Structure 1
Amino acid sequence: MVKASYNVIGVMSGTSLDGIDIIHATYAYDCHWAFKIHQAETFKYPENWKSILMQLVTKSLSELSAIDKTYSEYLAIVISDFIDKNKIKNLDFIASHGHTALHQPELNLTYQIGNHQILADNLKRKVICDFRIQDVDYGGQGAPLVPIGDRLLFGQYEFCLNLGGFANISFEANGKRIAFDICPVNIVLNHYASKIDLEYDDEGKIASSGTVNTKLLSQLNSIVFYEQLPPKSLGLEWVKEVILPMIDMSKLDIKGVLSTFTEHAATQIAKVLDVKNVRTLVTGGGAYNDFLISRIKSHSKSQIIIPNNQIIEFKEALVFGLLGVLKERNEVNCLKSVTGSSKDHSSGKILIPNA
């Protein structure tokens, strides 16, 4: 039944492995969509799960299937703890992104773990999830999925830029929503910060103290992906095959790597934001990287807007809640103009708990 409002939990786990983002929100429709976030929390991954998730791209499909089951059980525990802690009642459903294990749309392959029937059974609640696979079946990239939320919830901004594991952007052009991955960001910066026993480079302070290596910067900026037209998306596999070997060959110290890669990311992002008098909403963990933001501003003509912490940190979880609402209503939540699929569609699967 189509309703005017929905009481939903949205769940997101990103490639930067910051943790599991969970929000409890109400979505209401009255000529346009509005939302209210009631609670939001990030559950950090314990070291054993962080290690497993970092190695997913090395696993066989049978190994991933086993991990999928265990991860779904773990995810159910985390979500249940959030529900109990916040005394949440009368939920319509839980909408979950899962965690990307494999993303190779050119091979007609995408795999999100954490979308197992066990999730619904253990939570004893309806779960709407696995939003990517149908789009890949229709010939699309299966990503990015957030742009429909950008259009419906944040349409007052000309650009919506997310700085997570990857930088991705969404905007309207000629009546269509266009979105694509620009470049890696935190997935690379955090990788090298970990080599000096840091989870991340706080505010980009280490990067700001380093020196840009012009040779490596030129090599990075010359990567073929940046010349390709959208739709296009990136995955961890590509980073491991293309980016990390190039950086490691440079033999730079960590300061130099972080400084050079930050400049690279800022350069690629600013190329897309090369438009005057437009507002760009910036979210994701990279919004807290003051050095990265300053470098983007120095290269870009756009007005960079940093919202409140809740939107910075939980926008993607919020949007996946909306994707679930649209799926529940059998309305379009995946745009062919974004992913390159053969048609707009209502993506995702609905899991009903077994009695």
Structure 2
Amino acid sequence: MSFPQSYKLIGLMSGTSLDGLDIVATQFTFDAGAWNYNIEHCKTIPYSTDFENKLKTAHQLSGLDLTFLDKEIGGYFAQAVNNFCEEFHINKEEIDAIASHGHTIFHQPDKGMTLQIGCGQSIATQTGIKTINNFREKDVLLGGQGAPLVPVGDTLLLKNEADAFLNLGGFANISIPKQNNLAFDICPANIVLNAIVQAKNLDFDFDGNEGRKATINKELLSQLNAFPFYHQKAPKSLGLEWVESYIHPLLTANSYADNLGTFYAHIAHQISRVLEEHKVASIMITGGGAKNSFLIAKIKEKYSGNIILPEDDLIDFKEALIFAFLGVLNLRNENNCLAQVTGASRDSKGGNTFEP
């Protein structure tokens, strides 16, 4: 069966750092055996405080209320896409599909379960565009972690840009295409930093300005670095449940300054340890943390290789871009979840498709 050589998709990403919905319209072309991409339009829609709180507490809802929230978020995503298309004069008939990551509420692959909400049928029906979502569940049911999924994009779209790729979002995760697509979550990042600075009524630590004034508690740092997860072999992944079970209890007995400064040191230590252990010569960093110059400086203190910070569009929208690409592979009936990355029993084509 032959497939088109060019696709236009809208990618949606709502991350655990809760900073908003990332939307990207991208043209993908397949030429001479290689994939290329062009980000045509992109935008982040910040969440209101009320909406952010709904997502933050969603894991505490009853099954019925969570179902209602799933529909509400699907409608929210759909309206965001409609507004995006209107703002940038995008002809919806030219869009092959919307690829939506959804918003992760639960991630417990060891129990065969992961849940990203944001009703795909609601998105498709309210936008009039075919929608693909739920990219992780099949991999989990095949015994995998359901994460990370970005490495297939790193390999097929970006592998010549750096030896490895680090995303600094809610969690720090890495992919190393040149080492058999090795990829895994390293440690929590913005999901914890953001929670700490909320004590100062801040949504996040802009450019690490709070971190620069913070202090390091050596005992707390030792406790954080001692978690068994950091010594497990890949594949492995993290979720909010792990943070609530292991990280938050350690932060209750220390000062704001100690918690913040120590967690910055913890992130830098874990990332640099992984980079040195795997002899990574160059690393491209994307995600919100890439714009935190204090965090980047802390990593540079411990890592001797070359750090690459790409243009802002790639820093801010790489995950939305790659989920759009996962949608392309789904449309072509090609595998977009790699067993060697996730630990599943086989490669698979993730994603459920909803027609308008």
TM-score range, shorter chain: over 0.9
Matches within 5 A, 1:176-255: 176-249=180-253, 251-252=254-255, 254-255=256-257
Q: Give me the whole-angstrom Cα distance separating, in 2, the residues matched to 1:349 and 1:288.
A: 33
Maintained 8 Å contact 2:6/2:27: yes
Q: Distance in 1 between matches of 2:220 and 2:16?
A: 24
In structure 2, what is the Cα distance between the partners aligned to 1:151 and 1:182?
19
**Aligned position for 2:99:** 95
CA-to-aligned-CA distance 1:205-236 (integer Å, 9 cap, x gap): 21111111101000000011101111110001
Structure 1 counterpart of 2:16, one-letter code: T
d(CA) in 2 for partners of 1:294, 1:78: 35
The residue aligned with 1:27 is 28
Q: What is the CA distance between 1:326 and its match in structure 2?
A: 0.3
Residue 352 (structure 1) aligned with residue 355 (structure 2) = yes
Which of 291, 296, 304 is 1:293 aligned to? 296
- What secondary structure, in the 3-state scheme, does the structure 1 residue paired with 2:106 have? strand
1:241 alignment partner AA: S
User: Offset of 1:116 from its aligned partner?
Assistant: 3.3
Alpha-carbon separation, structure 1, partners of 2:297 and 2:38: 31
Question: Conserved in 2, the CA contact under 8 Å of 1:13 and 1:99?
Answer: yes
| Count of aligned pairs between the two proteins | 350
CA drift at 1:50: 0.2
C-alpha separation in 1, matches of 2:273 and 2:25: 36
Distance 2:214 2:129 in 1: 50
State the 4+ residue runs in structure 1 displaced beyond 6 angstroms. none
Residue 106, structure 1, aligned to residue 110, structure 2:
yes
Q: Residue 44 and residue 9 in structure 1: after superposition, are their counterparts in 2 closer, same or farther (change >3 A)?
A: same
Number of the residue aligned with 2:76? 74
The residue correspondences of 1:24-173 to structure 2 (distance < 5 A) are 24-30=25-31, 31-89=33-91, 90-156=94-160, 157-172=162-177
Q: Classify the secondary structure of the residue corresponding to 2:174.
A: strand
Tell me, yes or no, if the aligned pair for 1:10 and 1:22 is still in contact at 8 Å. yes
Conservation of the 8 A alpha-carbon contact between 2:163 and 2:280: no
Distance change in 2, residues 1:38/1:195 (3 Å): same
Q: Which amino acid aligns with 2:217?
A: N
Which whole-Å deviations, capped at 9, do the CAs of 1:166-219 have from their partners, x for residues lacking one?
A: 000001355x21111000000000011111011111111211111111010000
TM-score (norm 1): 0.96
Counterpart of 1:322, as a letter, is F
- Taking the TM superposition and a 5 Å limit, the aligned residue runs for 1:298-337 are 298-337=301-340
Q: Is the 8 A contact 2:187 2:270 kept in 1?
A: yes
CA shift digits 1:53-73 (9 cap, x unpaired) = 001222233332121011111
Q: 1:286 to 1:118 in 2, by over 3 A?
A: same
Shift of 1:148: 0.4
Structure 1 residues without counterparts, runs of 5 or longer = none
Which residue identity lines up with residue 119 of structure 1 in the other structure?
I
Q: Matches of 1:193 and 1:136 in 2, distance apart?
A: 33
Return the letter of the residue paired with 2:52. Answer: K
Unaligned 5+ residue runs, structure 2? none
Question: Is this contact kept in 1: 2:196–2:260, CA < 8 A?
Answer: yes
Identity of aligned residues (%): 45
